[in-house]
Structure 1
Amino acid sequence: MKKITVEDLVQKFSLKVLTGEDQLQKVITQPRVHRPGLEFVGHFDFFPTEQVQILGRKEVTYLHKLSHEERKLRIGNIVHYHPPCFIATTGEEDLTYLIHHCAEQEIPLLITSKPQITSEFIPRLDGYLTKELAPEMAIHGVCMNVSGIGILIRGSSGVGKSETAHTLIRRGHRLVADDIVVLKRLSPQTILGTHDEKTKEFLALRSIGLLNVVRLYGRKAFQDETRITLDIHLTKWEKDALYNELEQEFHYTDYMGVKIPSIEIQLQPGRDVAGLIEVAANNWYLKEQGYSAAEEFMRRIEADITKSDM
């Protein structure tokens, strides 16, 4: 399982450390944060102790209204579980009592650089943790965003994956990763494709060499990540291996338990592979919207037959 530390959060979100400066290497393993509302009133049945604890205006105001003894009890009940850290979005005001408890238990207490709306800060932090802690794998291939649709292009070495990607970039689509594609499983339905940092913005073309697509074609030629919705496998041409059916059924490739629709495209001199990938992406989108060209064609045929029988 991947791990990040409290210090990573401090650096990513420019947080100020109030206590626990020597505890910033504490490990965070859970991809979600928690607001301890029920826990402050004594309900601990489902308290996620390994999650980062967020304190917003509601929690701080509630604690501030309690008597000294009651506040000491409520906070003590929570810090007893030693969560990785507390993050307050309200600023440093009214946190003296919390500073004391966290310092005593050696728990990092962090605050945002300026007061923030808690409901807006949490999704940002959740998104960061989800991506950083997601299970991941690396595959050989190219990742592109074609008309807003994330596509993996796979195939044997030298088959033309990068050349196809270059043609797609020239047509206005965006490179995500070349050669090494990092896949992250964000949910049982979602695979995110990205690069491995070292190859960011680079595309390697045989006979030409290494290209920086941003320097060549501008920022529009690259994006950092994309949700993978299609897996396209480029293969050498084999006569009679593919059939001209009205509608090709999707096969699926399994990546960490997530099934991605997969299409095979055979290569032949003069065949517009980049154009076929564009068509595959747009056709997939239409199917997701409930449209099938084959079904419409068959309805026209049936309507014509019915008209002829009348």
Structure 2
Amino acid sequence: MKAIDVQQLVTRFSLEVLAGETELHRKITKSRVYRPGLEFVGYFEFFPQEHIQVLGKKEINYLHTLTEEERNLHIGNIVKYHPPCFIVTAGQEGLKYLKKYCNEEGIPLLRTSSLTTDFLGIMTAYLTKTLAEEISVHGVCVNVAGIGILLRGKSGVGKSETAHTLIRRGHRLVADDIVVLKKLSPQTLLGTHDGKTKEFLALRSIGLVNVSRLYGRKAFQDETRIVLDIELTQWQNNCLNNELELTPRFSEYMNVSIPHIEIQLQPGRDVAGLIEAAANNWYLRQQGYSAAEDFMKRLEMD
């Protein structure tokens, strides 16, 4: 199971440490954050104790209304479950009682000046990506007109050269050689690089090139949602399907299904152009349009 420690959050979001300074090594394994509410009145049946606990104005103002005895009771009921950390938003003050309990129980108490809603959004997005299940695959990842594509094929088939052509046409490189795939949800696959190969493209007979230096910053982006899996293969006679509507095929990565297309290579064939067509055709399908269905309707009208 992937995990990060509280110190990484402190560094990443410039959080102020109010208590539990010696416990910043505590691990976070859950990608969702939680705002305790019912727990303050003693209901703990569904309390997600392994999640980060965020205390916004609503929670802190409620605690301020309690007597010292009530406040100590309600906070004590929560801290005994030892969540990874508490984060107070909107730079709220008057947290002496929280500091006391967090220091006693060894739980980091952190504070941010960000508003609760804004902070929840950026924190959830960060945790989802950072803690996502991931695998590495051999291939190239490109973003074609806003559409993420994974290019696969045997070594030397021409994946990087095809990506180079796409970049020269105004599209973007995400990763070359090693593509890191992250599962953000049962339907969402994110493609990115491993950090070491960022911006680099390996071209046979040329060597490594830095696409951002060569073609400008618009030639590269850090990540993209993968919606097409395109496999480049060597040309085989009589193997291309010329039906009006091909039977849908899919590839699976970490149980996420991605539409799969095979494109055969042959000298003079505009592979980059075919990839652009595949990307645009996928987009039209998402809008509810099918060229084959449109064509058949026209035939029926004659």
TM-score bracket for this pair, using the shorter chain length: over 0.9
Post-superposition CA distance 1:280-303 (Å, at most 9, x none): 000011111111111111111111
Q: Any stretches of 5+ residues in structure 1 without a counterpart?
A: 305-310
Instruction: Compute the displacement of 1:249 (Å).
Output: 2.3
| 1:235 and 2:233 are equivalent in the alignment | yes
1:205 aligns with one of 189, 203, 206: 203
Candidates 139, 142, 150, aligned match of 2:140: 142
Q: Distance in 1 between matches of 2:102 and 2:147?
A: 46
Task: Provide the alpha-carbon RMSD of the alignment.
Answer: 0.7
Q: Distance in 2 between matches of 1:297 and 1:106?
A: 68
Partner of 1:103: 103
Aligned-pair CA distance for 1:91: 1.9
Unaligned runs of 5+ in 2: none
Equivalence for 2:57? 57
TM-aligned CA deviation for residue 92 of structure 1: 5.1
Alignment-derived partner of residue 82 in structure 1: 82
Runs of 4+ in 1 over 3 A off after TM superposition: none
Distance 1:294 1:92, change over 3 A: closer
Which secondary structure does the structure 2 equivalent of 1:186 belong to?
A: strand
Give the CA deviation at 1:19: 1.0
For 1:168, the aligned partner's letter is L
CA distance in 1, matches of 2:46, 2:152: 44
Q: TM-score normalized by structure 1?
A: 0.96
Aligned partner of 2:56: which letter? G
Distance in 1 (alpha carbons) for counterparts of 2:97 and 2:38: 19
TM-score normalised over the length of structure 2: 0.99
Give the drift of 1:38: 1.3
Task: Give, in whole Å, the separation in 1 of the partners of 2:75 and 2:241.
Answer: 69
Q: Which amino acid aligns with 2:11?
A: Q
Structure 2 letter corresponding to 1:126: T
Distance (whole Å) between structure 2 residues aligned to residue 177 and residue 6 of structure 1: 29
TM-superposed CA distance for 1:156, in Å, is 0.2
Secondary structure, aligned partner of 1:182: strand
Counterpart AA for 1:97: Y
In 2, distance between residues paired with 1:87 and 1:128? 15
Partner of 2:244: 246
Paired with 1:183 and 1:301, the residues of 2 have a C-alpha distance of 43
Secondary structure (helix, strand or coil) at the match of 1:116 reads: coil
* 1:190 counterpart letter in structure 2: T
Could you tell me how far 1:250 is from its partner in structure 2?
2.1
Length, aligned pairs only: 302
Task: Provide the C-alpha distance between the structure 1 equivalents of 2:241 and 2:58, rounded to a whole number of angstroms.
Answer: 63
**What percentage of residue pairs aligned between the two structures are identical?**
69
Residues 298 and 92 of structure 1: CA distance in aligned 2, closer, same or farther (over 3 Å): closer
SS in 2 for 1:167: helix
